[in-house]
Homo-oligomer: A and B are copies of this chain.
């Protein structure tokens, strides 16, 4: 595995696809989509090899389900590429334009980043998804998937590369690292001469490891210890509905709610209603002292609870006396992902959105809306919890940079 050669190949391909028209890029996505369907048998066969290895190695059933490909899942991957083809092309957009005191006309235009590294765990559909999104945004990608999905990933990338090649597109726009060793992963994280950015996708632990080890700039897609604060002025029925939705609609994901913060003025009325509404979902409720005084059947929260992302049917409850205390508590323990206030008080809605430090701050809505598709981006690379380059749900724009084009008429600097 010669990563340096892959890096050089990627730079050449990046240069070529940065110049492709939108129509051409969409044609490429279409031939890739068709090729996946044509070669379904080959994909299923490679996936069977992966599934057999995984079963032999005692991989747990949740992981096996993520790894498994079926005809339906291959169709979904293929449809995903066609869907990306329908999205607006971010490249070439003029973001700003002005004339300077020296009569220079400056345009800031959107351009591809160049070469993107993606490092991810189990699910082989990420191979197709990442290839599609990076291609549409004019970038070359070097992919490195989990070892469980190695055969599936190599075959998927190979089919897309062949399809590109056959239609005179640069196949090195998509390259897959086929060596599953940690050593190669580490080398990829140090490939500063060739990679412009590295995007890890996987568990919080995996992403943290990449951040700690990478020299290439990383876009961090992180954890979500999300709070809902129910203000004394809240519409309590809406608050109950939002808490139930944010906690139980899909508890395993990063935008699910983990903590309920309640104003003491309404806690004794509100908490029993929430407890009852959550009852069918068997949520393990853990309260601070005042919450337990109102709901005697629930467990006591420990100090560890406030900073923990459960990703499960667990919710801790904190009772506070005013919005200042709520904001202080949330800013202390949150992971800067998504936070919500339920209120009918205008000043409180303003104070909360101004003072909470998070990628997305909601008034009267479920935290579950933090999502590239729900935001209307038509795609999602991940949800950034860092503050540089991109913050919050990332669509195609997060895979772009900018360039200043300056048109003059012989100007020199005095």
Contact = CB atoms under 8 A, between A and B. Distances in A.
Interface stretch (A82-90, A176-184, A238-246): A238-246
Interface in A330-358: 331, 349, 353-355, 357-358
A360 B197 contact: no
B375 A412 contact: no
Nearest to A406: B362
Contacts of A282: none
A31 interface: no
B369 A410 contact: no
A279 B126 CA distance: 60
Interface string A396-413: 000001111111111111
Interface in A192-222: 192, 196-197, 211-212, 215, 217-219
**Number of copies of this protein chain within its complex:** 2
Contacts of A386: 196, 217
A354 B387 contact: no
A389 B392 contact: no
Contacts of A211: 192, 215
Contact of A365 (B19, B353, B411): B411
Contact of A402 (B212, B376, B391): B391
Interface stretch (A38-46, A94-102, A161-169): A94-102
A100 B374 contact: yes
A365 B387 CA distance: 35
A98 B374 CA distance: 12
A168 B19 CA distance: 55
B113 A388 contact: yes
B401 A388 contact: yes
A226 interface: no
B376 A410 contact: no
B406 A361 contact: yes
A365 B249 contact: no
Contacts of A362: 406-408
A171 interface: no
Nearest to A327: B15
Nearest to A114: B387
Q: Of A102, A353, A364, A408, which is in contact with the most chain B CB atoms at under 10 Å from its CB? A: A408
A235 interface: yes
Contacts of A156: none
A314 interface: no
Nearest to A215: B212
Given A403-B391, A411-B366, A376 B100 contact: yes
Nearest to A414: B249
A143 interface: no
A106 interface: yes
Nearest to A413: B368
A102 B374 CA distance: 8
A223 B367 CA distance: 43
A104 interface: yes
Contacts of A360: 403-406
A241 B411 CA distance: 9
Contacts of A242: 410, 412
Given A215-B212, A387-B401, A413 B374 contact: yes
A406 B374 CA distance: 12
A197 B359 contact: no
A412 B228 CA distance: 13
15 contacts: A15-B331, A100-B369, A106-B375, A113-B387, A196-B388, A197-B387, A217-B218, A219-B388, A242-B412, A349-B407, A365-B407, A365-B408, A368-B412, A369-B408, A392-B403
